[in-house]
Amino acid sequence: MQQHRANGNIWGRHRRTADSHTHRDPAEPAARKGHFVMAAALVASVGAAGIAGLYFSASSGPASAKARTPAAAQLKTSEPMTIPLASDADAGLRAAGDGLSLDTGMPAVAQSRKPKPRLWVDPMPEGSVTSCFGARWGRLHAGVDLAAPTGTPIRAAGAGRVVSAGVEDGYGNAVLIDHGNGYLTHYGHMSAITTKTGQAVKAGDQIGNEGSTGHSTGPHLHFEVHKGSYKNPIEPTRWMQDHGVNLGGCAARG
């Protein structure tokens, strides 16, 4: 009797040990539960747009039930699971890779890039050079003259701050801009000034209109470049060329 009970205990222990190491597949409800857990994770990562293309769609019928078995097996073995895409979603991805719109299948339009703003510009590109830097009538002509119809916009050659804006002796209506790099630009004979002292300007901002105020024989812009401080003019054509702007009409003299 004791031997039988002992054998029974041994057999009971053996059954518990064997059961603890069993590798039986989980019951069908557990497999389905694991499938729905995976489906919820896939919905969160793929997004609503890709749900219709997944192979376990509710509309796939019996075929999708067969396809769920490998997914459950992969979940059990903790191996990476690859989810195939339906033909329509796969075609959409191929179309996007081929440069086609995912929604319409039409050629995708490349997003245009905005060109970088220029640091220096022609202060009056409509103007024609009529006089250059150098000696004229027994004195220094300290800039370059650009002629155009009265009222033609005059623009800041570069970014800076307006040092002065108003009537200035023989220059008539004039503007002086400090560019903060050791150089200043000067604009004279304007018919009107459209900026004010202390104003910050960018390259290409309008600062006035072309005219013939002050000591002038006709409508034109008198444009100067000064190094270090005002009243220290340098030849403007060469300086503008060095900064990517060709005023034209004058020989670049240093």
In the beta sheet, which residues pair with residue 155? 206
Domain that holds residue 229: 128-243
- Between 97 and 204, the more confident residue is 204
| Domain count of the fold of the chain | 1
Sign of the torsion angle spanned by Cα atoms 145, 179, 181, 213 = positive
Task: Evaluate whether residue 202 is within a structural domain.
Answer: yes
What would the two tokens of residue 195 be?
A: 């900026």
What would the two tokens of residue 92 be?
A: 């959409």
Residue 103 carries which side chain, given as an amino acid letter? D
Task: Evaluate whether residue 143 is within a structural domain.
Answer: yes
Task: Evaluate whether residue 214 is within a structural domain.
Answer: yes
**Above 70 in pLDDT, residue 221?**
yes
| Residue 98 DSSP label | T
Task: Evaluate whether residue 115 is within a structural domain.
Answer: no
Task: Evaluate whether residue 11 is within a structural domain.
Answer: no
**Side-chain half-sphere of 155: how many Cα atoms within 13 Å?**
17
Q: pLDDT tens-digit profile of 30-57?
A: 445 454 445 454 444 444 444 444 444 4
Q: pLDDT tens-digit profile of 117-160?
A: 789 999 999 999 999 999 888 899 999 999 999 999 999 999 99
User: Taking a C-beta distance cutoff of 8 angstroms, is the pair 245, 144 a contact?
Assistant: no
Task: Evaluate whether residue 210 is within a structural domain.
Answer: yes
Mean pLDDT of 201-228: 97
Residue positions counted in the chain:
254
**Above 60 in pLDDT, residue 238?**
yes
Q: How far is it, in rounded angstroms, from Cα 70 to Cα 145?
A: 83
pLDDT at residue number 189:
98
Quick one: how far is CA 202 from the chain centroid?
20
Task: Evaluate whether residue 193 is within a structural domain.
Answer: yes
Mean pLDDT of 198-212: 98
Domain of 233, CATH number, reads 2.70.70.10
Task: Evaluate whether residue 165 is within a structural domain.
Answer: yes
